[in-house]
A and B are shown apart, each in its own frame.
Chain A
Amino acid sequence: MNEFWVLLTGSLVGITCGLTGVFLILRKTAMIADAISHTVLFGIVVAFMITQSLSGYWMLIGAAIAGLLTTFLVQVLQSGGLQEDAAIGVVFTSLFALGVLFITLFAGNVHLDVEHVLMGEIAFVPWDTWDVFGFSMPKAVWMLLFVLLLNVLFLVFFYKEIKLSTFDPVFALSIGLPILAMHYSYMTLVSLTTVAAFDSVGAVLVVAMLIGPAATAYLMSKSVSGMIVWSMTFGVTAAITGYYLAKLWNTSIAGMMAAMIGVIFMLVFLFKPHDGWIWKTFKRMKLQKTNIQANS
């Protein structure tokens, strides 16, 4: 049964992050996920300082606010003339450092250690349960299901709006789409996804899960909807294969899942028919050969 919960948690992380990650890739803001995954620590610590509790909702709220704060600060620095990557670098390191400082200053004796935040511990997920409507499931599963539902609802309602404001914001603005509101709503979802996922798998795997499957799907698909399906599939595949390989080699589950994302990406990058690296190299060699023959 424990194995089932760990697999389910991993798969939910794969599906939720895979779904959210698609628009991070398309909006060319993959690194903002990295930033948010670190600054949610700041949000969680502040939420803890205010409420003195480690309950899930406060963590979600704190993280959402921290994510929005990050997005907002990056936006402010950018419109002040800084490049986006520099703005992200400045904002997230400062907030992350503040988060670490606050932990050591005010929350030293609670279960909120930095290593847990970075690596997570998915193997312990089954023992931390919540009862909702008399139904007992691991806390991580509840949180992931809730955030997945939010993500799905957002896409059901605003699919065409987020797509247009990603592809052509100038045109979107001209037909009256609230592109800034879309941006902040989406970034809120990224923050919520991050915090729901990172309790079980840690900040590092969250970034891997948000970016890797979606980047792989970008190589595979010619449409946004196709990309979403591929991205979720890759996320789940990495979670399940990662779990069994970790069990086989007796190593870190989260680490193995992240490694599998890298493996899947490389496989697609190298072997994809028509525009994979190997296919292209082969075609180039063939072309050179015929050229040499034609010239001789």
Chain B
Amino acid sequence: MNALQVKNLSVAYEEKVVLKNVNLAIPVGRLTGIIGPNGAGKSTLIKAILNQLPNKSGAVHILERPLNSKDHTVGYVPQRNAVDWDFPTNALDVVLMGRYGHIGMIKKPSTKDKQIAMDCLKNVGMETFADRSIGQLSGGQQQRVFLARALAQEAEVYFMDEPFVGVDAATERTIIAILKDLKAKGKSVFVVHHDLQTASDYFDWMILLNQTITASGPTELTFTEDNLQEAYGGKLFFMDQAKSNKTFN
């Protein structure tokens, strides 16, 4: 079964084409990195898959079905800087928002929902910060709260937009451990990532993107110099370093 299938997806903002004719088929249970240079359309791809853009064409299937938010199959971690962290609320409350889809409109969170939220917070090592105002958390802690909120969605397929940006080393390790744990539980995870040095260690599947798909497949087949040069259009400086890092591992 495919976790994600995309057919002829194109997105344009006004006159400018951002994604052109994207086709993807990715099996269930993979930890997939979405890699590409700035402006390649990585975040746009996620937003288009999640049906957040009006001006798109093409078809998207998740677990072989068209996306329906009532199925609760999809968990989502938006970019951290997309929200105002001075909003008056605490960490547990934000994680609880991950339960809203399950709770449904009008109804209030139950004790069980609160318990799940607390467990997810514990999962990311943030249980002692449950009552802390989100504005007082560090960037890495805020990112963990966002990850915990996605875990609270109890989804099958997860989409994460740049979860490693601006976080400390400890948070990066926590996040990658959780991603690998999700994969071990048979979930499918898609992560927008731009650090080529760590990419091949983190992901077992890769989508190389630059407005159109350069390559998609298992990491050992797709993460090649030729493919990367094509995606990055010859602007690639890190390749040798990434390779030498690999020999150390």
Contacts and interface: CB of A to CB of B under 8 A. Distances in A.
B100 A173 contact: no
Interface string A198-240: 0000000000000000000010011110110000000000000
B90 A222 contact: yes
Nearest to A177: B100
B78 interface: yes
Contacts of B88: 26, 218, 221-224, 226-227
B104 to A, nearest CB: 10
Contacts of A226: 88
Contact of A222 (B69, B83, B133): B133
B105 A158 contact: yes
Scoring B74, B82, B94, B105 by chain A CB atoms within 10 A of each residue's CB, the highest score goes to B105
A95 to B, nearest CB: 27
Given A158-B105, A174-B69, A177-B100, 10 more contacts: A28-B84, A160-B103, A168-B83, A171-B78, A174-B50, A174-B78, A175-B76, A175-B153, A176-B70, A218-B88
Interface string B149-162: 10001000000000
A263 interface: no
A126 B148 CA distance: 55
24 contacts: A28-B84, A160-B100, A160-B103, A160-B108, A161-B105, A164-B100, A167-B87, A167-B94, A170-B78, A171-B76, A171-B149, A173-B52, A174-B50, A174-B78, A175-B69, A175-B100, A175-B101, A176-B69, A176-B101, A221-B88, A222-B88, A222-B89, A223-B89, A223-B90
Residue from A158, A175, A176, A227 with most neighbouring chain B CB atoms (10 Å): A175
A86 to B, nearest CB: 19
B97 interface: yes
B52 A170 contact: yes
Nearest to A25: B88
Contacts of B133: 222
Interface of A: 26, 28, 157-158, 160-161, 163-164, 166-168, 170-171, 173-177, 218, 221-224, 226-227
A77 B234 CA distance: 41
Interface of A is mostly: helix
B23 to A, nearest CB: 23
B83 A167 contact: yes
B115 to A, nearest CB: 17
Contacts of A167: 83-84, 87, 89, 94, 97
Contacts of A164: 97, 100
A88 B74 CA distance: 36
Given A160-B100, A176-B69, A227-B88, A170 B82 contact: yes
Contacts of B170: none
A161 B104 CA distance: 9
A160 B82 contact: no
B106 interface: yes
A157 B70 CA distance: 19
Contacts of B101: 175-176
Interface string B62-74: 0000000110001
B39 interface: no
B24 to A, nearest CB: 19
B109 interface: yes
A157 B108 CA distance: 9
A224 B109 contact: no
Nearest to A217: B88
Contacts of A227: 88
Given A164-B97, A167-B83, A171-B78, A158 B90 contact: no
Nearest to A176: B69
Interface centre among A166, A173, A224 (most CB of B within 10 A): A173
Contacts of B78: 168, 170-171, 174
A28 B83 CA distance: 12
B155 to A, nearest CB: 10
A160 B109 contact: yes
Contacts of A166: 87
Q: Which of A167, A171, A177, A226 has the most CB of B within 10 A?
A: A171
Nearest to A160: B100
